[in-house]
């Protein structure tokens, strides 16, 4: 459960403190905080609907409308489009009797320390992506986050299963830069990763090895300063 925050509570606290100090300094100087970091690079930032479906499927009954069927997933894709989002990011689900069930073995849900990927999971990923695409239509980008839920061979199995899908990127986590570079070489989709890394030293093997198309910086988990 602590995998997303490799710096632990201390790393998160350092990031929060540094961000607060940057904000305070900018206020004292009377300048935008961005000026302290080199200046404004853009005035608009594209966003996507993150964890799309995850809360309504796996956090019952706290997030409504709850989703307990593949029709609900289709409706969610439609909602994404109708609310004006240009992209959505979803997680891994398998389906039993038409009902989506979360698959996050990297976090112990279900408990499967081998992190093996079976056919039911592969079918579920494809069914889930197809349902979201049906609802969202052809113009909404779809991103898939695999997290720490497989080993290298499992990620490769998933890549083969989704090769025909239209994805903006495939996101996954591993601390092995060489393995991620190998996965990227065999992927039909751009690879995003690195959100769990802390400090420049951890990023460098992934950048030198050209292991990622998108290096993700996760401010919430590990803080700007820990990068």
* 157-170 tens-digit pLDDT: 999 999 999 999 99
**Average pLDDT score over residue span 144-150:** 96
Cβ atoms < 10 Å from Cβ of 113: 8
- Please tell me the total count of domains within the chain: 2
* 8 A C-beta contact, residue 170 and residue 146: yes
Q: Looking at residue 10, what is its pLDDT?
A: 74
- Residues 50, 70: one domain? yes
- Rounded to whole angstroms, the Cα distance separating 213 from 66 reads 34
Query: HSE-up of 205 (CA within 13 Å, CB side)?
Result: 13
Q: How far apart (Å, rounded) are the C-alpha atoms in residues 140 and 48? A: 10
Domain that holds residue 15: 7-43
pLDDT of residue 2: 57
pTM of the complete model = 0.88
Considering the domain architecture, whether residues 19 and 104 belong to the same structural domain is answered as no
Structure tokens, 19: 């961000």
Kindly state whether residue 90 falls inside one of the protein's structural domains: yes
Q: What is the model's pLDDT at position 170?
A: 98
20-24 CB contacts, 8 Å cutoff, 24+ apart: 22/224
Contact between 87 and 96 under an 8 Å Cβ cutoff? The reply is no
Domain membership of residue 1 (yes or no) is: no
């Amino acid at each position: 459960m602590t995998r997303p925050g490799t710096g632990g509570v201390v790393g998160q606290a350092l990031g929060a403190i540094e961000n607060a100090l940057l904000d305070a300094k900018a206020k004292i100087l009377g300048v935008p905080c961005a000026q302290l970091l080199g200046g404004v690079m853009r005035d608009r930032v594209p966003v996507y609907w993150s964890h799309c479906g995850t809360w309504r499927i796996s956090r019952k009954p706290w997030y409504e409308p709850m989703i307990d069927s593949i029709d609900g997933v289709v409706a969610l894709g439609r909602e994404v489009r109708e609310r004006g989002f240009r992209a959505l990011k979803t997680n891994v689900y398998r389906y039993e009797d038409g009902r989506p069930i979360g698959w996050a073995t990297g976090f112990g849900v279900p408990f499967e320390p081998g992190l093996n990927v079976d056919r039911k999971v592969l079918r579920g990923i494809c069914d889930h992506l197809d349902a979201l695409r049906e609802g969202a239509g052809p113009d909404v980008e779809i991103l898939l986050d695999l997290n720490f839920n497989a080993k290298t061979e499992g990620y490769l199995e998933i890549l083969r299963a989704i090769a025909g899908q239209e994805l903006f990127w495939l996101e996954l986590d591993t601390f092995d830069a060489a393995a991620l570079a190998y996965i990227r070489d065999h992927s039909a989709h751009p690879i995003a990763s690195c959100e769990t890394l802390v400090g420049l030293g951890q990023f460098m093997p992934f950048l030198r090895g050209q292991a990622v198309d998108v290096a993700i910086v996760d401010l919430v988990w590990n803080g700007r300063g820990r990068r």
